[in-house]
């Protein structure tokens, strides 16, 4: 009886994994585009420290974001091509480990199999459900500030669970590690940092309410220290002089609070935008991804429960958990959206959506598991078999559909990569010959256009031609269409 769920669960795992593999494959055709030229040039020409200082004073306060991009800058195009797959594989490995810790805490049967399903479903819903996944994962400029922090958050959750379970939550090394982890992650983007602060505050409240007395004090100590790291990161990011420069460039310098002088109005706008975000994800951008995540989580709760804590099995407790998690979801989405509302009176850019979408995916997974725990406390071999077949058909069919859809853009990406490599070689040959004013032809397939980004333009004033010229070490780089 115990082997049957594993067989079908690995079928589910394959269905969930396949769309992620298509994203990893597509990512190999990524190259340096748009802002990548500018951030790489800052480091290559001035060094990492000067690059961080320059960006902090002249653009934004995302210190970790600049450091990571600076470290990647010497890798050039190969680094851009490998980054999407590396990030996806790293996140999957970290998520499996963290979900395994959760499965052990919930005393699930076959915790590793349960972790595989939950981790893959969470990442699939977050990445494949993101409306601009090409910006959020394929593009270095979006992957570092918006996908990397989610990997760090996933690692942090597993770290906290292990520290509490092994009774070392209040040890100095544990506290220092948590402080550094939240401070480092907080320097990647404002959208993530506000969510991180809110999530840690809510986690501290939950620890105070739910944890037994012997674990409560060490856990709260760990979460408070972590919150301090995140709060300091938020402060460092917010006071950066470059924020006003960047804000003036995009919206003329006036934030919503400066226009209205009303914090309540900003909060109301945030609630409206957060609600619109949740509805749009469910109805338009990620309905299939969220559906198969919920089904998978339900299957895990239904099939793998063994001796789940009784508080989850009580009907009243289940409904309280479902309702409470809905409130938590709204608060987390509001937190991640507020920086955009404050700065531009609008939602953050689409490439930032994986941050609130990850929070949403976690809540959906929790709902699925809770319903699975409560619907059937014992499962017969026959019911497991029938349920496994039904769930497998839905998940695998949806995974195949998503994979085929993802591969529709592969030919364009492959053409872009081939032409970009040829153009890069041509430019470097001209530079080696002493040419300082380089002229190239436009590419027939532009990754920037596919992503909705400006890249090298025939009208250089509208693109990143100057940054690209600095990247290659020439005075000018002009794109001219053949006559």
Q: Which of 151-155, 313-317, 448-452 has the highest mean pLDDT?
A: 151-155
What pLDDT band is residue 134 in, cutting at 50, 70 and 90?
very high
What is the Cα–Cα distance from 347 to 338, expressed in whole angstroms?
8
Q: Which residue has the higher pLDDT, 248 or 94?
A: 94
Q: What is the pLDDT of residue 373?
A: 83
Percent over 90 (pLDDT), the chain: 71
367 pLDDT above the threshold of 70 = yes
Structural contact between residues 150 and 355, judged by C-beta atoms closer than 8 angstroms: yes
C-beta neighbour count of 349 within 10 angstroms: 17
378 pLDDT above the threshold of 70 = no
Average pLDDT of the residues in 289-296: 96
Least confident of 1-5, 75-79, 160-164: 1-5
Q: What is the pLDDT of residue 463?
A: 67
Average pLDDT, the chain: 90
Q: Which residue has the higher pLDDT, 226 or 347?
A: 226
Q: What is the pLDDT of residue 377?
A: 54
Q: What is the pLDDT of residue 138?
A: 97
Q: What is the pLDDT of residue 340?
A: 81
Domain spans, the chain: 3-146+254-402, 411-479
437 pLDDT above the threshold of 60 = yes
Measured between alpha carbons, how far is residue 139 from residues 122, 412, 452 in Å? Answer: 21, 15, 11
For residue range 173-195, what is the model confidence (pLDDT) as tens digits? 999 999 999 999 999 999 999 99
DSSP secondary structure of 368-387: HHHHHHHH-SS--HHHHHHH
What pLDDT band is residue 214 in, cutting at 50, 70 and 90?
confident
Average pLDDT of the residues in 204-216: 90
Q: What is the pLDDT of residue 351?
A: 95
Q: What is the pLDDT of residue 375?
A: 72
Structural contact between residues 104 and 343, judged by C-beta atoms closer than 8 angstroms: no
Kindly tell me the sign of the dihedral angle through the C-alpha atoms of 51, 53, 59, 65. Answer: positive
For residue range 9-21, what is the model confidence (pLDDT) as tens digits? 889 999 999 999 9
1 pLDDT above the threshold of 50 = no
Q: What is the pLDDT of residue 222?
A: 97
What is the Cα–Cα distance from 134 to 130, expressed in whole angstroms?
9
Q: What is the pLDDT of residue 2?
A: 46
Structural contact between residues 103 and 163, judged by C-beta atoms closer than 8 angstroms: no
Percent over 70 (pLDDT), the chain: 91
What pLDDT band is residue 384 in, cutting at 50, 70 and 90?
low
User: To 10 degrees, the CA torsion angle through 293, 294, 297, 298?
Assistant: -150
Q: Choose among 76, 44, 38: nearest CA to 59.
A: 38
Task: Enumerate the β-bridge partners of residue 405.
Answer: none
| Helix H or strand E segment including 479 | strand 476-479
What is the Cα–Cα distance from 406 to 289, expressed in whole angstroms?
13
Measured between alpha carbons, how far is residue 72 from residues 80, 141, 259 in Å? Answer: 8, 11, 39
CA 446 to the chain's CA centroid: 24
For residue range 40-78, what is the model confidence (pLDDT) as tens digits? 999 999 899 999 999 999 988 999 999 999 999 999 999
Average pLDDT of the residues in 281-292: 96
What pLDDT band is residue 306 in, cutting at 50, 70 and 90?
confident
Average pLDDT of the residues in 146-166: 97
């Amino acid at each position: 009886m115990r082997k049957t769920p594993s067989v079908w669960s690995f079928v589910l795992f394959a269905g969930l994994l396949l769309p992620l593999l298509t994203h990893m494959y597509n990512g190999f055709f990524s190259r340096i585009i748009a802002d990548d030229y500018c951030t790489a040039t800052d480091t290559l020409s001035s060094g990492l420290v000067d690059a961080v200082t320059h960006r902090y004073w002249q653009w934004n306060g995302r210190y970790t974001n600049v450091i990571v991009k600076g470290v990647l800058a010497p890798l050039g195009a190969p680094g851009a091509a490998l980054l999407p797959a590396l990030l996806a594989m790293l996140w999957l490995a970290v998520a499996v480990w963290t979900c395994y810790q959760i499965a052990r805490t919930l005393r699930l049967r076959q915790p590793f199999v349960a972790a595989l399903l939950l981790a893959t479903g969470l990442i699939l819903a977050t990445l494949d459900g993101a409306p601009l996944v090409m910006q959020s994962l394929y593009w270095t400029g979006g992957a570092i500030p918006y996908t990397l922090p989610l990997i760090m958050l996933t690692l942090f959750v597993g770290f906290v669970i292990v520290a509490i379970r092994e009774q070392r939550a209040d040890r100095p090394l544990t506290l220092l590690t948590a402080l550094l982890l939240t401070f480092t992650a907080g320097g990647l983007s404002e959208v993530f940092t506000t969510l991180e602060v809110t999530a840690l505050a809510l986690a501290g409240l939950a620890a105070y309410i739910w944890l037994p007395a012997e674990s409560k004090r060490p856990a709260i100590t760990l979460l408070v220290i972590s919150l301090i790291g995140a709060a300091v990161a938020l402060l460092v990011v917010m006071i950066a002089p470059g924020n006003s420069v960047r804000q003036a460039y995009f919206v003329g310098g006036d934030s919503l609070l400066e226009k209205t002088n009303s914090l309540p109005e900003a909060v109301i706008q945030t609630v409206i935008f957060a609600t619109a975000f949740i509805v749009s994800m469910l109805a338009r951008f990620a309905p299939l991804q969220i559906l198969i995540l919920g089904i998978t989580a339900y299957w895990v709760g239904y099939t793998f429960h063994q001796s789940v804590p009784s508080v989850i099995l009580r009907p009243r407790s289940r409904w309280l958990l479902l309702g409470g998690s809905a409130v938590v979801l709204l608060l987390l989405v509001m937190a991640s959206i507020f920086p955009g509302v404050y700065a531009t009176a609008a939602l953050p850019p689409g490439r930032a959506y994986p941050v609130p979408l990850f929070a949403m995916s976690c809540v959906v997974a929790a709902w699925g598991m809770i319903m699975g725990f409560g619907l059937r406390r014992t499962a017969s071999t026959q019911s497991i078999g029938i349920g496994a077949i039904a769930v497998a058909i839905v998940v695998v069919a949806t995974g195949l559909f998503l994979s085929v859809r993802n591969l529709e853009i592969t030919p364009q990406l492959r053409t872009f990569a081939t032409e970009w490599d040829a153009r890069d070689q041509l430019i470097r040959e001209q530079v080696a010959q002493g040419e300082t004013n380089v002229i190239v032809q436009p590419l027939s397939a532009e990754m920037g256009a596919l992503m909705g980004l400006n890249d090298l333009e025939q009208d250089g004033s509208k693109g990143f031609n100057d940054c690209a010229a600095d990247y290659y070490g020439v005075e000018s780089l002009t794109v001219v269409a053949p006559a």
